[in-house]
Amino acid sequence: MSLFTSGFWDFYIAVISLVSIVACGVFLKAQSVRAPREAGKGVGTSGHTWDEDLTEYNNPLPRWWAWLFYLTIAFALGYLVLYPGLGSYSGTLGWSQLKQLEDETRAADARFGPLYEKFAARDIAALAKSPEARAIGQKLFLNYCAQCHASDGGGSRGFPSLTDNDWLWGGTPEAIKTSIAEGRTGVMPPMGTAAGGDEGARDIAHYVLSLSGRTHDSLRAFNGKQKFQAACAACHGAEGKGNPQLGAPNLTDEIWLHGMGESAIVAQITKGSTSRMPAHKDIVSPAKLHLLAAYVYGLSRPDAAR
């Protein structure tokens, strides 16, 4: 990996960029030189002829067009002096995308900060009932959360829905706020060996299907119960109702994060999975976090929101 992060590539990019610009200027100059005319003859030709009598004259490029091209070359060189574009050289103006983002964020916080702060001291459950707070929270949700959880909070496969009352890490206002601020990492380790191989995984899968009343093979479910207790109960509980302290889902309801059915459950048991909710405390102010938590809390409580 160090090969791709060495200072050589900065030098390489700078040289390629400058050589390309200078080469454009040299080529343009070469194409702007008028060929000497022989005495008594007109403009020479390039020697190319089409349709028997269509001949290409060997004239230089128009002066106005050439000067426009020279201006673009001068602009490119001036740009590379002022702005980053030559490897690690940052430019005389010191501009960067990150600096611009930070400046715009500070300006936005100064302008809109008081609007968020007026809600910061209010209870999250009470804010979930405030139309004004929910309208602001929705905009924050669309900006920070909708990419994974969908614009309506309905989620998708691998990304939990926030509109029901099934919470991996707890659905209290405090738990939701902690999830947004600190992030969460849920790990389902591959349990192929502990489950007894593929056949054992299928037995456990049918036992899990039986927990939620799904169609299942009763013999396999019977065989899978003991295997479940040995391999799965430590996280999901003896009754399969989950553990919010570990982010272990409830297996007795109708909600399936990674797909439902024997094949999906067997894949989870044998291959495992890792789900990560990134922490937002470093990119979202505490006041915004408070409003986000209130909005998410209200998504699963439509009566409270109304």
pLDDT in tens, 220-256: 999 999 999 999 999 999 999 999 999 999 999 989 9
Place of tokens 């998708």: 156
pLDDT of residue 154: 93
Section 157-167 average pLDDT: 92
- From the list 25, 55, 28, the residue with the least C-alpha distance to 43 is 55
Give the confidence band of 125 by pLDDT, cuts at 50, 70, 90. very high
Give the confidence band of 169 by pLDDT, cuts at 50, 70, 90. very high
| Domains of the chain (ranges, CATH numbers) | 1-32+55-95 (no CATH), 104-183+278-305 (1.10.760.10), 187-277 (1.10.760.10)
- From the list 7, 268, 294, 26, the residue with the least C-alpha distance to 134 is 294
Section 271-279 average pLDDT: 92
Q: Which pTM value belongs to this model?
A: 0.70
86, β-bridge pairs: 89
Amino acid at 106: R
Give the confidence band of 2 by pLDDT, cuts at 50, 70, 90. low
Asked if 58 and 45 count as a contact pair (C-beta separation under 8 A), the reply is yes
- From the list 98, 91, 75, the residue with the least C-alpha distance to 25 is 75
CA Rg, the chain, in Å? 33
pLDDT in tens, 57-77: 777 788 899 999 999 999 999
DSSP three-state, residue 68: helix
pLDDT of residue 43: 65
pLDDT of residue 38: 53
pLDDT of residue 42: 60
Between CA 254 and CA 231 the distance in angstroms is: 22
pLDDT of residue 146: 95
Asked if 104 and 95 count as a contact pair (C-beta separation under 8 A), the reply is no
pLDDT in tens, 172-182: 999 999 999 99
Residue percentage of the chain with pLDDT more than 70? 93
Q: Which residue has the higher pLDDT, 2 or 169?
A: 169
Between CA 276 and CA 279 the distance in angstroms is: 9
Section 75-83 average pLDDT: 95
Section 99-110 average pLDDT: 89
In this model, does residue 306 exceed pLDDT 80?
no
Section 290-303 average pLDDT: 90
In this model, does residue 1 exceed pLDDT 50?
no
Section 75-101 average pLDDT: 91
Q: Which residue has the higher pLDDT, 294 or 57?
A: 294
Section 35-52 average pLDDT: 67
